[in-house]
Amino acid sequence: MNIPVLSLLFVTVVWGATFPVLKIATAQLSGIETSALRFLLAALCMLPWAVRAPRKAWQDGALLGALVLFSYVAQAYGLQFISSNRSAFLTSLNVLMVPLLGVVFGNSLSWRVVLAAALACLGIGLMSWDGGANLLADAATVAGALGYALYVIVLSARAARHEARSLAATQIVWMAVLGGLWMLADALGTDHLQTLGNRLNAEILWGLAYLGVVATAAMLFLQARAQRHVSADKAALIYAMEPVFAALFAWVWLHEGLSLRAATGAAVVVFAVVFSEWKPKAG
């Protein structure tokens, strides 16, 4: 494996650990509160590079930041009602969505992707049959996966135009600004802002620090740097490992388990996303 591929694999490990952290945070905070606070911390880390970023980086950063913000808020919302295991495997559908969305951008759709889509639906069906489903939370998580698939495609197309730190910094600042405005709008007519301090305990604060500094600031920089050299399809295949790491962390940290039926469905989802991207070598 080359350095960019290993970098993206490391990013995937770090992201896998975010699911149990988010699960703990969303027990006290809403999805938008969790997202806005993590992005604020991330933006503070990246501010020195953001203020020196050129206008073009701010323009592309706005689009990328909006896509990531939507994806993360939808994921965090879903985690208020479903397990971190379930969220991780539903989120992994973004890997399959990358080639499917490629059709919109003029790419052809292979029989392999169609079969993988059918297998992914089967896997989700097995997981849903096992219980723990929540229609609105599941739908939000899948919508978040769609938003992230769009992000991967746009990032691969535009990352080479910019210095990695500038692009990561601008999109994170945009995420913090838009997330903060969203949180303020969501709090209108409620006491959410007044009670926010009382809902932040030491465990959640450490979790937000991990989400903001490590999983957002550091990993978006590493991702922007690595995807200058890795195609969207190949990056998506690497990200297919995220739910595997997420399930491992959830088992160790939250003692979440999977029944045989749910584990079978999860394995089918992972196989589907890997199968959709795997291309056998000719001859």
| Residue 143: how many other CB atoms lie within 10 Å | 16
Question: Distance from first CA to last CA of the chain, Å, rounded?
Answer: 21
Q: Say what the pLDDT of residue 276 is.
A: 66
Average confidence score pLDDT of the chain: 83
- Position of tokens 């392999």? 112
- Residue 200, classed as helix, strand or coil, is coil
Question: pLDDT (tens digit, 9 = 90+) per residue, 191-242?
Answer: 888 999 899 999 999 999 999 999 988 888 888 788 888 777 677 767 777 7
| Residue 64 confidence (pLDDT) | 93
Per-residue pLDDT tens digits for 45-102: 999 999 999 999 999 999 999 998 999 889 888 888 888 778 877 887 777 787 778 7
Instruction: Please tell me the predicted confidence (pLDDT) of residue 178.
Output: 93
- pLDDT value of position 108: 67
Alpha helices in the chain (DSSP H): 3-25, 31-50, 55-78, 84-91, 93-102, 111-129, 135-158, 164-187, 192-195, 202-209, 219-226, 232-239, 242-253, 260-277
Flag the least confident range among 149-153, 165-169, 219-223, 245-249: 245-249
Report DSSP state, residue 105: T
Of residues 153 and 236, more confidently modeled:
153
Q: Tell me, what's the pLDDT at 281?
A: 58
pLDDT value of residue 175: 92
Look at 244 and 183; give whichever has higher pLDDT.
183
Position 37 pLDDT exceeds 80: yes
